[in-house]
Amino acid sequence: MDKIGVLTSGGDAPGMNAAVRAVTRKAIYEGLEIIGIKRGYTGVIESDFMVMDRGSVADIIHRGGTMLHSARCEEFRTEAGRKKAIEQLKYGGIEGLIVIGGDGSFKGAQLLSEESDIKVVGVPATIDNDIACTDYSIGYDTAMNTILDAINKIRDTATSHERTFVVETMGRHSGILTLMSGLAGGAESILVPEIDFSLEEVCEKLNHGYERGKLHSIILVAEGIEQDFTSSTDNNESQAFAIAEEISNRTGFETRVTVLGHLQRGGIPTAQDRILGSRLGAAAVDLLLEGETNKMVGVVHEEVKSFPIEESLTRSKDLNKEIYKLADILSL
């Protein structure tokens, strides 16, 4: 193998740049030519390639986002689109490809590997931390600390005005990011898709806290929860507003909503995400040199390991219910 490519795809995550830097410099160290592909699979189809050298990735390890930019590509979902992508990779002499992204990016990597002789390795990067076969994905730690910082600031104003705040976090259909952030931030209630909740019990907890002198509360809500409420609030994008209105109606407490949104995807990556990106990026190059394909790299009990991409897509990453129970106990 003489030439490999690297791309970032899907939602950006802090630490992606650290992974791109590691892939680039490890490839050069091993005597490979490295091609950066801009805008994910869209850049593959459009042959948006750039030759990378050590200087290309200088001064990026501490930067959020991705220097290669990212995009979602509907054309790549089609067989014709993937055929065009394979043609462009072959025309560019790219024999191996490293895909940095989440499960959608991994599905694309799996198809590319199955439909061509190009060797493909995935590197997990998503703030949701919902990819199986790895304890952590790149970006998760930074996003968790961003949420924690927001909770700390919101708690200051909640205390000053004696209010209840409903804070919505990202995570798609996974509540892992929300749970861990809520535990670290001391949230009074944590609502996640994996565990049924009773708004009546949430309100009872708020009332009990008020009776013992508590003047403010933080309710952390994962964006993926699905539950019907009687609220008249018309908001198709977030249930946080409906939950806040229900809480206000049932308790009489003044309630406010904060939707953190894309704030969670940006920012300077933490040391953990920089280290994780560096380790996994370098390991991905090693897998390609070993002739592996349709694999992903992950970290399990602090050890870098590889797994079939199919396993990461078919296995579920379960929320730790013991930690959920602990968070509930500590919030009483």
CA dist., res. 129 & res. 82, Å (int): 27
Q: Identify whether 141 is a catalytic site residue.
A: no
Element (H, E) at 236: none
Asked whether residue 110 is marked as a ligand-binding residue, the answer is no
Asked whether residue 301 is marked as a ligand-binding residue, the answer is no
Contact between 151 and 203 under an 8 Å Cβ cutoff? The reply is no
Asked whether residue 228 is marked as a ligand-binding residue, the answer is no
Asked whether residue 214 is marked as a ligand-binding residue, the answer is yes
- Return the structure tokens found at 193: 């898709």
Residue pointed to by tokens 């109606």: 249
Query: How would you class 292 by CB atoms within 10 Å of its CB: exposed for 0-12, middle for 13-18, buried for 19 or more?
Result: middle
Query: How would you class 125 by CB atoms within 10 Å of its CB: exposed for 0-12, middle for 13-18, buried for 19 or more?
Result: buried
CA dist., res. 232 & res. 237, Å (int): 14
Query: How would you class 195 by CB atoms within 10 Å of its CB: exposed for 0-12, middle for 13-18, buried for 19 or more?
Result: middle
Asked whether residue 186 is marked as a ligand-binding residue, the answer is yes
Asked whether residue 21 is marked as a ligand-binding residue, the answer is yes
For 297, phi and psi rounded to 5 degrees? -105, 145
Asked whether residue 195 is marked as a ligand-binding residue, the answer is no
CA dist., res. 44 & res. 87, Å (int): 9
- Return the structure tokens found at 41: 């699979």
Asked whether residue 47 is marked as a ligand-binding residue, the answer is no
Asked whether residue 322 is marked as a ligand-binding residue, the answer is no
Catalytic option among 12, 128, 130, 141: 128
Asked whether residue 139 is marked as a ligand-binding residue, the answer is no
Asked whether residue 234 is marked as a ligand-binding residue, the answer is no
Asked whether residue 271 is marked as a ligand-binding residue, the answer is no
Contact between 155 and 188 under an 8 Å Cβ cutoff? The reply is no
Asked whether residue 82 is marked as a ligand-binding residue, the answer is no
- Binding residue ranges: 11, 21-25, 72-73, 102-105, 126-128, 155, 163, 170-172, 186-188, 212, 214-216, 223, 256, 262-265
- Binding residue ranges for substrate: 126-128, 163, 170-172, 223, 256, 262-265
- Binding residue ranges for Mg(2+): 103
Q: Could you give the residue numbers annotated as active site?
A: 128
- Binding residue ranges for ATP: 11, 72-73, 102-105
